[in-house]
Amino acid sequence: MRSTTLDNGLKVLIQEEHTAPLASVWCWYKVGSKDERPGLTGVSHWVEHMNFKGTTNIPRDQVKGIIEQFGGAWNGYTWIDQTTYLETATRDALDRMLFIEAERMASCLYHPDDCESERTVIISELQGGENDPDQLLDQEVTATAFKAHTYRHPTIGWLSDLQTMSRDDLYGYYRRYYIPNNATLVIVGDVDTDSALRQAAHHFGRIQPGAGVPRLHTVEPPQTGERRVTIRREGTTAYLKASFHAPAATDTDFVPLVVLDAVLTGAKGLNLWSSFRIAPPQRSARLYRALVDRGLASSVSGSIVPTAQPFLYTVSATATEGTSLSGAEGVLLEELDRVQREGITTMELAKAKAQLEARLVFENDSVTNIAHQLGYFETIAEVELFRTLPGAIATATADSVMTAARRILAASNRTIGWFEPLPIGSGSEQSRP
């Protein structure tokens, strides 16, 4: 992999992969919902939407067609630490892909009519998410777990902010953060590194760097006791979540926590783009045996993802009909207490490592996935962290996993969330802490 920084501050990562005549381009920006202040929550996601609405040199109805004429795919997403855009197509489309991303960085339009129409789209998206009990519970648990840090805001934003944000708010945010010295361009595929770098410099080198990027620096204070939130609404299914303040990707406890989660809920990868599309192996996972095999839950899952700053480790369960949430919670917490007391076995450690190592391989099965991982880790920390993950997993020990369990799974560090369904037609009531 070649890493180069252009004179305007744009970092360029290029990796040749000649297994197929394809190329993937990702352009990453170090801006996400953690950079939003009250009154502007959801602005990062809204700006992402606006940046598909055409540029000075690309009419809005041609943005998709430029890539699709090469048989390629395009997309983008926003989360707490980042916003990113991608195109994957035949290698012949590389110049066009770079042209699109340079235009997106420097020349988006933000027509007032487009801003207003997208307001309606995003508010509809927010309301759709709130109609999903599991998604709503996750949002409320996160907002309860964090009191100060901006990770507490949902990426889509709070409704009142979406209703009042202006075109000037959106465009001003775009111009503050969409600058080369706040971005990483990743190119992976059947390319020549020197040639690809010249093409990148041609398209992006003329874009002027911006002023220093504003950053929020609030640190979440230590949690001093268990927190709880209960939502009661019409529904058919009960949901349970237990969330714990978890280490950032660079923390020494992060990889041991990933191994611990593999033991508890099944090994998952560390690719936000593709990990959760493939179900983890769960039959021997502790919480699967304790909850699903015993008929207390129809499903159980864990979520630990690499983040720039300390986020959350969340265990979720869907209760079976007739199972009380208090009963399911009691079994779940007893298993979490047991792993703090007793740790994990040598056999569990070996199996978790083997499964995690396999997932890392599967997550690098395409130029798109490789490019995602290079850019994602460069955005939250540095690309070297991604390259050292296999070694860090291989050297994790049962002692390091137990240490992480005791630090992270403490009762005073957790937030418990319940979704209690009310009978259909009985009316909705939502209870918050």
**Which sequence spans correspond to the domains of the chain?**
2-204, 227-430
User: Does the 227-430 domain belong in CATH 3.30.830.10?
Assistant: yes
Per-residue pLDDT of the chain (433 residues; tens, 9 = 90+): 999 999 999 999 999 999 999 999 999 999 999 999 999 999 999 999 999 999 999 998 887 788 888 889 999 999 999 999 999 999 999 999 999 999 999 999 999 999 999 999 999 999 999 999 999 999 999 999 999 999 999 999 999 999 999 999 999 999 999 999 999 999 999 999 999 999 999 999 999 999 989 898 899 999 999 999 999 999 999 999 999 999 999 999 999 999 999 999 999 999 999 877 778 899 999 999 999 999 999 999 999 999 999 999 999 999 999 999 999 999 999 999 999 999 999 999 999 999 999 999 999 999 999 999 999 999 999 999 999 999 999 999 999 999 999 999 999 999 999 999 999 887 655 545 5
Q: Which CATH class is domain 2-204?
A: alpha beta
Task: Give pLDDT, residue 8.
Answer: 98
Q: Are 264 and 242 in contact (CB under 8 A)?
A: no
> How far apart (Å, rounded) are the C-alpha atoms in residues 216 and 190?
39
Contact 72, 88 (CB under 8 A): yes
**pTM score, two decimals?**
0.96
> Do the two domains 2-204 and 227-430 of this chain adopt the same fold?
yes
Q: Which residues contact 283 (CB under 8 A, 6 or more apart)?
A: none
Q: How far apart are CA 93 and CA 104, in angstroms?
A: 17
The dihedral built from the CA positions of residue 160, 166, 167 and 173, taken in this order, carries a sign that is negative
**According to the model, what pLDDT value does residue 278 have?**
79
DSSP 108: B
